[in-house]
A and B are shown apart, each in its own frame.
Chain A
């Protein structure tokens, strides 16, 4: 099923379901070319039940093979499904990203047994996953991570600390990068594991962000046992898993905005009221958002180009949210002003500040683009890690 006919059919199927399952007022907004706004505006809409059904229908994981809980659709068909979900601005929880990425890691690097064990429950979101990659001393420089996995008779024992683990406090499983080589081995001494978040020795502590939310966590691991059957890829070959997962993450982050008002919604809000300067700025943002939308639709941003799209998307959304909050004027001083929409815009602005940091900073994106895509001279590397490709 690869022809354009099947692409149209997959789009139609998803769209039919969306029109039937979303509130009429929501659909009417989309039909009128307007933004439906957040789900909280539809008091009769049961968001949890709707999400459960969406996962049950596997539209997000449509490209996964049916045997692993997907629909076996071609990448083009899956993209058409995702495009329909995006067009109707359906609410996608934060853990969706973690599920898609962990799924990607398992599909690329997992054994058949691991895939059968984990993917079906991932597809229905009945088990939430988190990433255990970054550490307090290893963020942008991920290859310097220090969490250790030591061999023991039963498998492995993991000790260390991770940070920025989104949804770790609700996660059943974690995708872990740990050092199995020497302390100086950098990317050549890292192994990837699946960790049961209910294991003894794991402590999860939420971190408060500048939005006031606590969706990230610190994860402390003290002598956590991990069976060798939970290893993803070869010993000391975890960097390959990390790279493909990070690339997928950046590709995913390039496909949709994280945080804040959509350009159409912003235009609606200021239609008939915007002065000449605001009009110019809105028009510039509109052009940028359209271009990003088309890039996503055409599937641009595979492979190394994922970093370029992630970079563009992050900077475009931060500029968009900054404009949204500027256009609110003095109202934006408070988060709980008279109007819910103002509060949403202010929250979106705060949330979007993470865009140029999370999933790889804009500085790292530019480094990867410069070095790997364009072949420009490399950033100096520490002596121990000189040589092979990183990131």
Chain B
């Protein structure tokens, strides 16, 4: 079915993103996955091509275009190319709203030029060992000492935690009666240490780590927005983060099914292609139909977000259905690959491993159901 949300401008952008990924990411993907790290030079090239922080005003090195469809194009093309180096979703879909909407002019001029040129990598630190799904359980604290905050606590599962030059850290602000504040902690801040790179089920090329703050001194000038309003800011940005995951999820399902259909055409079993056996034909047909349904859902949500209409509940719903479908699809696709599906060298095994966390991060499927169910009054 023809997609209706994109204009010619988006399609031209898609072409250039695709060409860039094929040239700069695809040839290195296996090595990055093996080494557990994406070359930093890739990120600088992507920024130079205008694919990082393009929503920033031109004065700060961006393109001044705030249109989530461009974000979606990059997220989709990364999945269609099965490239790793998935920092785009983190930078464009998650960090940009913090760095653009919550910063004052001084902060913008300090951070945005680096961010849009790829020399400054940003991360957001919410989760803690005892506070994952439940943001209200956050225990990291910040107390005032002159023109600085003194930050103490531990954060975990921080995407780009090792590479980040700027970590937006969620803390309990004692000055603000224990409400949450957001502090941008810079590389080299005394008392700010990084833990090991976590060994994950999937996303092996992505750096995910623990962060430790012990009496870390963070200038008050690094606070984003007003003191004590952190929870509101987080809630305001979560819908876009969740939509971004849904965009990736449905694109991943499309990619998995595409490579699986190729496998099912080529591989013969009992004298005919795997996909020609009726049970397998039906499995493939179900997946095609389910993905088409979810594709419409996701596209409608992208458009609603572009029109500033997407609600938190709608974002939770699309994140839930798209990520659950992604996992069901990659699981069936792995099964259709037989023994090869369980082997590391086959792409489907990576797509399966990488899919699992989609039902967890950005709020687990269970939390999404809580959001939807409570909104319905139950």
Chain A interface (Cβ within 8 Å of chain B)?
A: 134, 137, 139-141, 144, 163-164, 207-210, 212, 216, 277, 325-326, 329-338, 346, 349-350, 353-354, 356-358, 361-363, 366, 379-385
Contact = CB atoms under 8 A, between A and B. Distances in A.
A196 B118 CA distance: 58
Interface string B352-375: 110011011100111000000000
Contact of B345 (A208, A335, A337, A354): A208
Which of A134, A338, A366 has the most chain B CB atoms closer than 10 A to its own CB? Answer: A338
A155 B343 CA distance: 35
A357 B339 contact: yes
B343 A346 contact: no
Given A346-B201, A383-B271, A353 B157 contact: no
A338 B156 CA distance: 10
B156 to A, nearest CB: 8
Contacts of A144: 269-270
A329 B201 contact: no
Contacts of A366: 279
Contacts of B31: none
Contacts of A326: 359, 365-366
Contact of A329 (B133, B272, B338, B339): B133
Kindly state the interface size class of chain B when it binds its partner: 35 or more
16 contacts: A140-B338, A164-B339, A208-B345, A325-B356, A331-B132, A332-B356, A333-B208, A333-B357, A335-B198, A335-B199, A353-B334, A354-B342, A357-B335, A363-B279, A363-B280, A381-B270
Contacts of B353: 210, 350
Which of B271, B342, B353 has the most chain A CB atoms closer than 10 A to its own CB? Answer: B342
B129 interface: yes
B169 interface: no
A335 B201 contact: yes
B132 A330 contact: yes
Contact of B271 (A208, A354, A381): A381
Contacts of A134: 339
Given A357-B338, A361-B338, A382-B270, A334 B199 contact: yes
B200 A335 contact: yes
B339 A333 contact: no
Contacts of B279: 363, 366
A20 to B, nearest CB: 38
B270 A379 contact: yes
Contact of B132 (A210, A277, A329, A384): A329
Nearest to B131: A330
Nearest to A385: B271
A239 to B, nearest CB: 15
Given A140-B270, A358-B339, 6 more contacts: A210-B343, A333-B201, A333-B360, A334-B208, A349-B201, A362-B335
Q: Which 9 A-B pairs have the closest CB atoms?
A: A382-B271, A330-B132, A334-B198, A208-B344, A210-B349, A141-B269, A336-B199, A335-B199, A139-B338
A337 B335 contact: no
Contacts of B198: 333-337
Contacts of B338: 139-140, 357, 361
A390 B106 CA distance: 76
B157 A334 contact: yes
Contact of B272 (A163, A164, A346, A380): A380
B304 to A, nearest CB: 27
A137 B338 CA distance: 11
Main secondary structure of the interface of A (DSSP, over half): mixed
A337 B154 CA distance: 13
B260 interface: no
Interface string B314-339: 00000000000000000000110011
Which of A330, A332, A379 has the most chain B CB atoms closer than 10 A to its own CB? Answer: A330
A116 to B, nearest CB: 35
Which of B133, B268, B343, B352 has the most chain A CB atoms closer than 10 A to its own CB? Answer: B343
Contacts of B357: 333
A350 B345 CA distance: 16
A91 B257 CA distance: 38
A255 B256 CA distance: 33
A336 B195 CA distance: 12
B341 interface: yes
Contacts of B152: none
Contacts of B356: 325, 332, 349
A165 to B, nearest CB: 11
B187 interface: no
Nearest to A353: B342
Contacts of B349: 209-210
Contacts of A209: 342-344, 349
B239 to A, nearest CB: 19
B277 interface: yes
A207 B339 CA distance: 11
B127 interface: yes
Nearest to A381: B270
Given A139-B339, A357-B341, A379-B270, A333 B280 contact: no
Contacts of B341: 357
Contacts of B364: 329-330
Contacts of A325: 356
A131 to B, nearest CB: 13
Contacts of A338: 129
Contact of B342 (A210, A336, A337): A210
Nearest to B369: A277
A65 to B, nearest CB: 35
Contacts of B335: 356-357, 361-363
Contact of A353 (B269, B352, B365): B352
Nearest to B154: A338
Nearest to A208: B344
Nearest to B200: A334
Contact of B270 (A141, A277, A332, A346): A141
Given A357-B339, A361-B338, A333 B269 contact: no
Nearest to A382: B271
B271 A333 contact: no
A155 B366 CA distance: 63
A210 B271 contact: no
B159 to A, nearest CB: 10
A335 to B, nearest CB: 5
B360 A332 contact: yes
Contacts of B269: 139-141, 144
A220 to B, nearest CB: 16
Contacts of B201: 332-335, 346, 349-350
Contacts of A354: 342
A312 to B, nearest CB: 16
A162 B279 CA distance: 27
Nearest to B203: A333
A139 B201 CA distance: 27
A129 B323 CA distance: 42
